[in-house]
């Protein structure tokens, strides 16, 4: 076990160093581009009044960008560092009892989750405090505290930049290895999953760590950072409009909520206790039920702390009952998160109808399995969209009626209400991330058990944990898409605010009836489809190389099948590592370059046709349409992929003929098709949505 775990650790750490080396070079390049743009751009009236020169604001933005990128990288590294060490402990615990294995996997996931959320909070807190002291905020003739959050935008962009490449590179790596191992091992050679005779098995297990732990850590780090910054910007703007005497409560509120998240999620994680009784070989109860209990504990505590924080920080004399409205907005967000987790579980867990119907369709062949999976994925977009719509409207309405009004007497709390709902949704992020990290750790433990040829009873325990891990991974993706939808809505509003402060004229709505603006929208939707296509194609191309290599080893080393020869695991690891680094550049570059090029071209066009704000309007449309298409596309890809995977798992439990039957082979085909959907294109999409929003915020001066 220790030997196999070491091979996985070496592979994961080797790939991580190379991948982040490449990402850091690209980050430095992009930092230089941002620096040059900021040195030649116009300044805003706020910056002029506070005496912030172009050089200062350029250095601030670049420093924030690089810090965000660094923290995001560290968050990913911690996720991977923990998982490559925890997997062997879980597989060892599975020899004693199911409950102990579950506890170790959850606590390992919990540790990295708490570090990720803690990094997001402390990074922004340090930046905020540094700028506050260094720029002498709120002293006469210097910057107002309400304008300070706009300086933090670079941090969010740095975080999402790293998260996008981590998700793309890791996603291509994990799925290419998985598809290659499954197609040759299971379908052609008929050997079980994670069999030591399969040359691609170590690459597959390494992929779980770099694709699921490292990439998801960077992804949720970026979600929280983007949401904290956009909520701080909106809180500051609202406090300014409403002439609130001490606006710091509204600005620092997101940091306090996420600090409480660390406490309530820790309690939720610690509520899952294990037993060391070696006589208890049978699983005591369904692990999903145990995890759900922990989640319920976390949610109850989150509601209580949320109400406390709103009363403490959002109480103002002007509108004494406003804090109550905002705490209800938070409640809307918390309920939305819970509902999202439940919907995804319904569509991807084999205890429920949809996956069982999908498994049944495998009994009539490969084609019917694919048709059923695609239609299930398409159908699964409906309820989440309705839930997001209801939550945005109800949070906006609650904020709007909070009693906070600007100088003209019109209510202004609507957008901040939506921001508070997003905070509510992410107020249990650490526990959600724990459930997510639990998945790959359990998957790896199962692989180690299979490769070290442990008794069947141990494999049964890790199989149960692995199936639950698949569902929790799917639910986290659902949760991440929901929060991405709300966060991009906020970042979009922040973008419009920033454009109006640069252009020195109001920028309140975008008219799709203007042909150029409509084209911007079309380009935004196209960007999502092209990006998904390139991400899936990258997995396909890399998987083909793996399949050829695995076939070659089986032909040239016939002794592998009788355990007489050892397969060359390192060869597959090397193929996947170099291919995924090469393949992640194209879709990533598309995401960064598109909005800048589109905005710049239409800015030039607007300059000659007498429409000074045309560039900004077209980019706004691109953002809106990309967000809408991206959310639907990500829901479809994640749910279809998760359902195919669990339909295969359901058949492997002995249903419909069990392992090796014709329906199992059809289900493996479905799972192979779903792999790049759920672990490469889907997760990369919700990072892309938020990165488009942060990149437009940072690059706003280019479009004007």
- How much is the pLDDT for 508? 84
Q: Is 411 helix (H, G, I), strand (E, B) or coil?
A: strand
Instruction: Please tell me what DSSP assigns to residue 650.
Output: H
- How much is the pLDDT for 208? 87
Residue 386 domain-assigned (yes or no)? yes
Contacts 24+ apart (CB under 8 A), 241-244: 241/406, 241/407, 241/412, 242/316, 242/318, 242/404, 242/405, 242/406, 242/412, 243/318, 243/406, 243/407, 244/316, 244/318
What the block records as the tokens of 439 is 């998945």
pLDDT beyond 60 at 280:
no
- How much is the pLDDT for 298? 95
Q: Give yes or no for a contact between 392 and 382, defined as CB atoms under 8 angstroms apart.
A: no
Helix 353-361 and helix 366-379: axis angle, to 10°?
160
**String of DSSP letters for 563-617:** TSS---HHHHHHHHHHHHHHHHHHHHHHHHHHHHHHHHHHHHHHHHHT-TTHHHH
Q: Residue range 53-64: average pLDDT?
A: 88
- How much is the pLDDT for 50? 67
Please count the structural domains in the chain. 1
Q: Which residues of 551-580 are buried (b: 16+ CB within 10 A; e: fewer)?
A: bebbeebeebeeeeeebbbebbbbbbbebb
Measured distance CA(331)–CA(340) in Å, rounded: 14
Measured distance CA(249)–CA(254) in Å, rounded: 9
CA atoms within 13 A on the CB side of 63: 14
Model confidence at 591, pLDDT cuts 50, 70, 90, reads: very high
Q: Residue range 61-70: average pLDDT?
A: 94
pLDDT digits (tens, 9 = 90+) for 205-231: 999 888 888 888 888 899 899 889 988
Model confidence at 544, pLDDT cuts 50, 70, 90, reads: very high
Burial class (CB in 10 A: 0-12, 13-18, 19+), 114: buried
Instruction: Please tell me what DSSP assigns to residue 283.
Output: -
Q: Is 405 helix (H, G, I), strand (E, B) or coil?
A: strand
pTM given for the model: 0.92
pLDDT digits (tens, 9 = 90+) for 573-586: 999 999 999 999 99
Q: Containing H/E element for 303?
A: helix 287-313
Model confidence at 316, pLDDT cuts 50, 70, 90, reads: confident
Q: Residue range 467-478: average pLDDT?
A: 84
Instruction: Please tell me what DSSP assigns to residue 350.
Output: T
Q: Give yes or no for a contact between 145 and 236, defined as CB atoms under 8 angstroms apart.
A: yes
Model confidence at 55, pLDDT cuts 50, 70, 90, reads: confident
Average pLDDT across the chain, whole number = 90
- How much is the pLDDT for 277? 52
What the block records as the tokens of 666 is 């059809």
Q: Which candidate, 682, 687, 690, places its Cα nearest to that of 634?
A: 682
pLDDT digits (tens, 9 = 90+) for 648-679: 989 988 889 988 899 999 999 999 999 999 99
Alpha-helix runs per DSSP H in 182-214: 201-207
Q: Which residues of 521-549 are buried (b: 16+ CB within 10 A; e: fewer)?
A: bebbbebbeebbebbbebbeebbebbbeb
Dihedral angle sign, alpha carbons of residues 71, 75, 80, 85: positive
Q: Is 687 helix (H, G, I), strand (E, B) or coil?
A: helix
pLDDT digits (tens, 9 = 90+) for 226-275: 889 988 988 888 888 888 888 888 999 999 999 999 999 999 999 987 65
Q: Give yes or no for a contact between 108 and 83, defined as CB atoms under 8 angstroms apart.
A: yes
Q: Of all residues in the chain, what percent are helix, strand and coil, respectively (each to 5)?
A: 85, 0, 15
Query: CA dist 165 to 15, 23, 35, 680, Å?
Result: 13, 7, 21, 11
pLDDT digits (tens, 9 = 90+) for 6-27: 999 999 999 999 999 999 999 9
Q: Give yes or no for a contact between 690 and 590, defined as CB atoms under 8 angstroms apart.
A: no
- How much is the pLDDT for 413? 85
Query: CA dist 239 to 144, 321, 327, 416, 505, Å?
Result: 11, 16, 17, 10, 20
Q: Containing H/E element for 294?
A: helix 287-313
Measured distance CA(29)–CA(387) in Å, rounded: 40
If you compute the radius of gyration of the chain from its CA atoms, what whole number of angstroms results? Answer: 25
- How much is the pLDDT for 46? 67
Measured distance CA(123)–CA(132) in Å, rounded: 14
The residue segments making up the domain with residue 269 are: 1-274+284-702
What the block records as the tokens of 510 is 């975008």
**String of DSSP letters for 81-148:** HHHHHHHHHHHHHTTT-HHHHHHHHHHHHHHHHHHHHHHHHHHHHHHHHHHHHHTTTTSTTS--GGGG
Q: Which residues contact 427 (CB under 8 A, 6 or more apart)?
A: 257, 258, 260, 261, 264, 302, 305, 306, 330, 333, 334
pLDDT digits (tens, 9 = 90+) for 286-296: 888 899 999 99
- How much is the pLDDT for 81? 92
Q: Give yes or no for a contact between 419 and 173, defined as CB atoms under 8 angstroms apart.
A: no
- Give the per-residue SS3 of 241-273: HCCCCCCHHHHHHHHHHHHHHHHHHHHHHHCCC
What the block records as the tokens of 43 is 């300044």
- How much is the pLDDT for 399? 93
Q: Give yes or no for a contact between 41 and 139, defined as CB atoms under 8 angstroms apart.
A: no
Q: Residue range 610-626: average pLDDT?
A: 93
Residue 279 domain-assigned (yes or no)? no
- How much is the pLDDT for 522? 97
Count, residues in the chain? 704
**String of DSSP letters for 151-162:** GGHHHHHHHHHH
Q: Give yes or no for a contact between 681 and 637, defined as CB atoms under 8 angstroms apart.
A: yes
Q: Which residue has the tokens 């454009």?
A: 499
Q: Give yes or no for a contact between 420 and 326, defined as CB atoms under 8 angstroms apart.
A: yes
Model confidence at 276, pLDDT cuts 50, 70, 90, reads: low
């Amino acid at each position: 076990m220790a030997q196999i775990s070491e091979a996985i650790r070496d592979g994961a750490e080797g790939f991580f160093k190379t991948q982040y080396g490449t990402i850091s070079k690209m980050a430095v390049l992009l930092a230089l581009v941002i620096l040059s743009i900021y040195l030649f751009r116009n300044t805003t009236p706020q910056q002029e009044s506070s005496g912030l020169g172009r050089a200062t604001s350029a250095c601030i933005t670049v420093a924030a960008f690089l810090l965000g990128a660094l923290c995001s990288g560290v968050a990913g590294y911690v996720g991977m560092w923990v998982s490559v060490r925890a997997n062997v402990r879980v597989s060892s615990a599975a020899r004693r009892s199911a409950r102990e294995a579950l506890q170790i996997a959850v606590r390992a996931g919990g540790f990295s989750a708490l570090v990720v959320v803690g990094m997001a909070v402390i990074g922004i807190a340090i930046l905020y405090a540094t700028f506050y002291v260094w720029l002498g905020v709120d002293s006469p003739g210097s910057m107002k505290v309400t304008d300070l959050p706009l300086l933090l935008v670079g941090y969010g962009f740095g975080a999402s930049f790293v998260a996008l490449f981590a998700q793309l590179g890791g996603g291509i790596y994990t799925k290419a290895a998985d598809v290659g191992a499954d197609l040759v091992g299971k379908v052609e050679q008929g050997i079980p999953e994670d069999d030591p005779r399969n040359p691609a098995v170590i690459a597959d297990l390494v992929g779980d760590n770099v694709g699921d732990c490292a990439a998801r850590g960077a992804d949720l780090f970026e979600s929280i950072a983007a949401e904290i910054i956009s909520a701080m910007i909106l809180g500051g703007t609202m406090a300014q409009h409403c002439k609130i005497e001490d606006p710091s409560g509204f600005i620092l509120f997101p940091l306090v909520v996420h600090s409480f998240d660390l406490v309530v999620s820790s309690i939720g994680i610690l509520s899952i206790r294990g037993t060391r009784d070696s006589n208890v070989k049978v699983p005591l109860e369904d692990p999903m039920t145990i995890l759900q209990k922990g989640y319920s504990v976390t949610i109850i505590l989150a509601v209580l702390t949320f109400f406390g924080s709103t009363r403490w920080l959002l109480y103002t004399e002007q509108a004494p009952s406003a804090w109550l409205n905002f705490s209800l907005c938070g409640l809307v967000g918390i309920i939305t998160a819970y509902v999202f987790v439940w919907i995804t579980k319904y569509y991807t867990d084999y205890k429920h109808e949809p996956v069982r119907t999908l498994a049944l369709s495998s009994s009539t062949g490969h084609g019917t399995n694919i048709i059923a999976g695609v239609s299930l994925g398409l159908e699964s977009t409906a309820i989440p969209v309705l839930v997001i719509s209801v939550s945005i409207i109800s949070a906006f309405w609650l904020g709007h009626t909070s009693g906070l009004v600007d100088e003209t007497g019109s209510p202004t709390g609507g957008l901040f209400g939506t921001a508070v709902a997003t905070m509510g949704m992410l107020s249990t992020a650490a526990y959600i991330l724990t459930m997510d990290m639990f998945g790959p750790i359990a998957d790896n433990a199962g692989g180690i058990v299979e490769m070290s040829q442990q008794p069947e009873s141990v494999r049964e325990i890790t199989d149960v944990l692995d199936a639950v891990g698949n569902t929790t991974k799917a639910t986290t993706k659902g949760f991440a898409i929901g929060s991405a939808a709300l966060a991009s809505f906020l970042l979009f509003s922040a973008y419009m605010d920033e454009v109006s402060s640069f252009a020195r004229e109001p920028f309140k709505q975008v008219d799709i009836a203007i042909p150029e603006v409509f084209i911007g929208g079309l380009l935004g939707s196209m960007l999502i489809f092209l990006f998904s296509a390139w991400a899936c194609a990258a997995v396909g191309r890399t998987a083909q190389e793996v399949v050829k290599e695995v076939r070659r080893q089986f032909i040239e080393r016939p002794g592998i099948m009788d355990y007489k020869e050892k397969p060359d695991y390192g060869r597959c690891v090397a193929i996947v590592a170099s291919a995924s680094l090469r393949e992640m550049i194209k879709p990533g570059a598309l995401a960064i370059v598109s909005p800048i090029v589109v905005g710049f071209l239409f800015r030039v066009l607007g300059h000659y046709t007498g429409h000074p704000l045309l560039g900004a309007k077209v980019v706004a449309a691109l953002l809106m349409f990309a967000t809408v298409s991206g959310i639907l596309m990500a829901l479809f890809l994640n749910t279809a992929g998760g359902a195919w995977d669990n339909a295969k798992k359901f058949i492997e439990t002995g249903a419909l003929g069990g392992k090796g039957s014709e329906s199992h082979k059809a289900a493996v085909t479905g799972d192979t098709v779903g792999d790049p959907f759920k672990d490469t294109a889907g997760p990369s999409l919700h990072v892309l949505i938020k990165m488009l929003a942060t990149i437009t915020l940072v690059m706003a001066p280019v479009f004007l």
